[in-house]
Structure 1
Amino acid sequence: MSKTTLTQFTPSRRTVLAGLAASPFALAAGSHFAMAQPTSGTLSIAVLDWAETGIKPVFAAYEAARPGVKIDYSLLPGDYQGIRQTLLSRRLANKLPDITYLADILATQLANAEVTADMRPFLTSGGPIGMTSLAKPFLDQYLVTSGPNKDGIFGLPIGADTVVLYYNKKHFDDAGIPYPNDDWTFEKQIEVATQLTQKSGTTTTRYGLAASVPWHATYVPGIEAFGDTLLDENNMYKLQTEAAIKVFTMYWDQVKAGVIASTPQQTQLGGGFQAFGAGTVSMLQSVRALTPLIRSVTTDDWDVALEPKINGVRKTGMGSIAQSITTSGQANNKDLCYDYLNWFYSEDGGMKILAAGYGTVPPVEALYESPIWTALPGPPYDNRVFAESIQYGAMNPTSIPADVQAVVDTELTKAEEAVTLNNVPVADALKAAEAVINEAMARVLAAGG
């Protein structure tokens, strides 16, 4: 996937790491300490560059908990193509780290290239983190569904997130409009967004809603809400279906009306979080990872709500980054890898440290109400939104190769510009995008990608 798309999901490459870890059972404080702990050794970990700031305190805490153990970390580029190229090069040079970060869309490719190891041995090793520990919607993003590694799990989610609705409470109060609630529909959202939009002549000075439409976390849940899928049985894109046309039309109509701030308009305003913080948008569709930035720039009071229903169905976008033991780590440093991962996903280990920065909600059934994140001072106040939205997650198909996703992002951005700036019919713009995307899909699949 392109850097643009990755940074849409992770709005700042210096934001606190948006890790979400899950377990259906309560991990007793210190329960992992019952296992044999390493007293020496070095663990090498490759980290996405934008995650460095947030993860360094985690590394320091692990070293403090394991005197004699050192973490040697290196940085990976923050874009999907850079991640892939760097790890493939390190694999060829026999210089893989013990653990590497990766993105959901790279799981199959890195597994087939023998960069990452199947995580099932770790998940069945008897430690506190097992096969049923991590939230299934996110873990499934790393389940390989075909080929030589079919049914293997090649990543453990740490940066998963679901899209929620951020809203400016002052704007609602000033307009005398009740806050968003669980009964909201897309139509109600647009009705309110229209009321909150402010214009000077034909120029919008305050948008009612900011939404990035050519982002899989926007269009995939919409298409599923209308009862369809993004891909057909041959893994080709279906952008000329009634569902696809409806979804893109309902968003792009409001971009043309000046009610929704599209990605380019958000960029002109300094980015979605800056626009929300400055009060130039009243509502923003985004993820928990954005919370630290919103808290840092927003003076008005604000909160979050579930994404509204579309076609009577609630679906919300989701995605993740992950960490995985590499083939080298599994062969040469397994015990230390296992210990670190068990510690990392515990309530009193890595999860507690990451959650303290507001950027992470551990989507753990036992931790949905854990004070490590629910007791943080608001805003946001309605923290159950972040946990509850997980059950409505609609993920981008894991079968999409990273090279194709880059084409998808480019072509859908072109389609948006054609529709909103040049009044090209939505169906025509999507037809043109589909042709280029499927040409790329056929080419990559034919090459074995």
Structure 2
Amino acid sequence: MRHGPPYQYGPRGSGGDLSRKSFWWALVPLLTCGLGTPFVVAFAAIRLRERRLALAAGGYSLGLVAFIVATNLLEGVPRDDWRNTVTAVVWFGGMWAGGAIHTFLLRTRVFPHIAVQAVPSYPAPQAHPAPRAYAAPRAHGSPQAYGTPPAYRAPATPPTWPVPHASGAYPQYVTGGPNPASGRSAGVAWVGPYALLTKVGEGGQGTVYLGQAPDGQQVAVKILHIRIGPDLGERDAFVKEALAARRVPSFATAQVIDVGVEGDLAYIVSEYVHGPSLERLVREQGPRNPDSLTRLSISTLAALRGIHNAGIVHRDFKPANVLLGADGPRVIDFGIARAMDRLTTSAGTKGTPAFMSPEQVLGEQAGPASDVFSWGSTMYYAASGRLPFDGPSVFAVSQRILEHSPDLGPLPAALRRPLAAALNKDPRTRPAAADLLLALSG
């Protein structure tokens, strides 16, 4: 879950700023006479990770190339010639006006926004029971058994919650249907027994809120974008799979506290980590120094070893999923991809393009070795401030992941060999997280 102090995400949480940003983004095709259309649609394809938009961006790019070729071929032809007329009509109708209309339709999907009202204090909710406890592990790192999650029961009075439009965008404000008779404060959004105080981040899998548990503890509540159907077996399977993440030791991860389904909303509650993400820190302050890199590498490898020992593959390890708390780095969002596999409505590629492994790009089964490759890409970003595999489109990034090896020369000497091994294209030859941890700490 992407979370941290609310003040660090102020620009994303500001409805006015977000509205202005999306407005100017949608105006790019109009202001550039259609020349910017391929680029803004490609941006939408990368942000939304949709193959149809990637194909649309490719179509606009071909249209741009065709227009340039046509204007060269028609040089010297009178302006009133029918060929010039057809070329102009196709350009202005397709690339200029068509691109502007397309981006305005995509605007609310590319820049979704939910805002909730934060209330300083409110009574603890009484209507919902505390989350049911599951069996704790008998010994650190040893196999453990969890009780079977209770069958999902629809609430007697379903809570009011925003239903996304067909475009996938949410309403501007959420109130959560407060019920004063149950002790809930009006003007506060709720999901299950958790009050949602403010939105702190959003990613490809869901939206993260700073929440408050019934006992007053601050928690991170991630509401998944995907909606769950009425099948009780599917709901129970999702909850059971998501709760498996509680087997992971919490010394270098954000502990999963609770998982639930309310209506068609699936949510995951985890420990709230006060600190920026690695992605944000590098973007704002630059690459990490050698000592910080060593601590970061060892902590994240220890987290991956615990995740893999619990029988879980992260499948979306990236700088945004590493939070730098006061007590050290914490890995978040592990186990979500596996839980989402239990939903029949889940589809598409799992992972963030620039940090995916070759096997993920090829649509093959992603195992622990896939996380090791993504770890190598993340450490390269932390050490250099650059993406290891970059390109103008998702397709270009995918090709570089399959065929290109980043230059490790500028990196600290202690990291070069471990990263070279982690970034091997063949998953069978990559070392395990435990082996890399031993090599770096030895």
Shorter-normalised TM range: under 0.3
The structure showing larger relative contact order (alpha-carbon pairs under 8 Å, at least 6 residues apart) is: 1
Q: TM-score, normalised by structure 1?
A: 0.26
